[in-house]
Amino acid sequence: MQDSLLQLWSLTGFPDLHWQMLVMWLVVVGLLYLAVYKQFEPLLLVPIAFGALLANLPVWRTLADGSSGVLYYLAQGIHLDFVPPLLFLGIGAMTDFGPLIADPRTLFLGMAGQFGVLLAFVGAAVLGFSSRDAASMAVIGGADGPTSIFTATKLAPHLVTPIAVAAYCCIALAPLIQPPIMRWLTSADERRIRMRSPRKVGQLERLVFCLAVTACCLLLVPAASSLIAMLMLGNFLRECSVTDRLVRASQNEILNVITIFLGISIGLSMTGQDFLKWQTIQILGLGVVAFGLSTAAGVMLAKLMNRLAPTSLLNPLIGAAGVSAVPVSARVVHLEGQLADKDNYLLMHAMGPNVAGVIGTAVVAGYLLATMN
């Protein structure tokens, strides 16, 4: 009888449990709490958390065994180059570039958002990471998940998982990280500044902008061609008004499916043995600090621009949207502005630097890929 019970016990997954799995279960609970109860990027955090749960159950070895099974192939998702470009296709199809075209000044705020990329690169080098590892980690400072994954798969495949988790944690936690920085760097009067309504941007301007940005960026940084091309293709489909079916597919079916695949892929790679390392904590900490400094740099540049051109004031809060977390940071800016003045609508104004941040981070990533490869 005892032998039968021992044999039955050996057939279960319990003998293979170890302390790293138990710790990762707590991480899963934390991610689900943020996603379900705090509603911080639930569309991404829920698949990541569920994938992480599967990765930290002994049964995962069976599910991912060999080269068969859907979960095995999903686990390879973040190592394949097609996932980030398809995400950019959906982002482009959902994003209105009109505010950036209407107020080109906001392009500089997107450039300021890359300050965190520089800081993350320097910080990673100081911590002892190689130049290729540091370049991969640097993109986290721009809070761009797809671009971080795209860069890491080429320069530091062994760091893809912590880099992806760090990037998406920064995006998900933007409502917690950015507001205190914005309030600390601005006065109540500055937060109440009402900007002029953006001018109406015509269809021809929008289409020419897509083509011009595509040509210029691909000539300057060919290494980022797939990201920029898909971003601008998605936006061109949106603005040309003759491809409604393709726009709907890009905005909904394609983006939703890729988001699920990406989230599960990241989660499945979060095994306790690989994730619970001092290196992972360093990457997460560096990413949060770099993201915070990108936010601060954008706000401070907006204040400087107001001093240089006092006749057309910017609300400094929109500088915080110069990172690549679109449209999360733009929403954070809008909500923060409404706390100071409930009738002040900053969402469309913030989308200008937010879009500029997406383009800027992709360009910087292309430069890093070209110089580090």
pLDDT band at 13 (very low <50, low <70, confident <90, very high): low
Can you read off the two tokens belonging to residue 360?
């800027």
SS3 28: helix
pLDDT at 63: 53
pLDDT at 134: 93
SS3 346: coil
pTM of the model: 0.87
SS3 311: coil
**Are residues 276 and 159 in contact, defined by beta-carbon separation less than 8 angstroms?**
no
Q: Which DSSP category does 325 fall into?
A: -
- pLDDT of 175-198, one tens digit each? 989 999 999 999 999 999 999 888
Q: Half-sphere exposure (CA, 13 Å, Cβ side) for 48?
A: 31
* Mean pLDDT across the chain: 88
Q: Half-sphere exposure (CA, 13 Å, Cβ side) for 22?
A: 5
Percent of the chain, pLDDT > 90?
A: 53
Dist. CA 29–CA 36, nearest whole Å: 10
Dist. CA 171–CA 18, nearest whole Å: 31
Name which residue leads in pLDDT, 265 or 203.
Answer: 203
**Are residues 166 and 145 in contact, defined by beta-carbon separation less than 8 angstroms?**
no
**Are residues 121 and 371 in contact, defined by beta-carbon separation less than 8 angstroms?**
no
**Are residues 115 and 294 in contact, defined by beta-carbon separation less than 8 angstroms?**
yes
Name which residue leads in pLDDT, 319 or 261.
Answer: 319
Dist. CA 68–CA 61, nearest whole Å: 12
**Are residues 117 and 89 in contact, defined by beta-carbon separation less than 8 angstroms?**
no
Is residue 61 scored above 70 in pLDDT? no
pLDDT band at 66 (very low <50, low <70, confident <90, very high): very low
Phi-psi label, residue 39: left if phi above 0, alpha if psi -120 to 50, beta otherwise: left
Is residue 65 scored above 60 in pLDDT? no
Reply yes or no: is the peptide bond before residue 327 cis, omega within 30 of 0. Answer: yes
- pLDDT of 124-177, one tens digit each? 999 999 999 999 999 998 888 889 989 998 999 888 888 988 888 888 889 989
Can you read off the two tokens belonging to residue 10?
């050996």
Quote the radius of gyration of the chain (alpha carbons, Å). 22
Q: Which residues contact 255 (CB under 8 A, 6 or more apart)?
A: 86, 87, 89, 90, 91, 93, 94
Is residue 365 scored above 80 in pLDDT? yes
Q: Any idea where the domains of the chain sit in the sequence?
A: 18-372
CATH number of 18-372: 1.20.1530
CA-CA distances (angstroms) from residue 162 to 75, 141, 241? 14, 14, 40
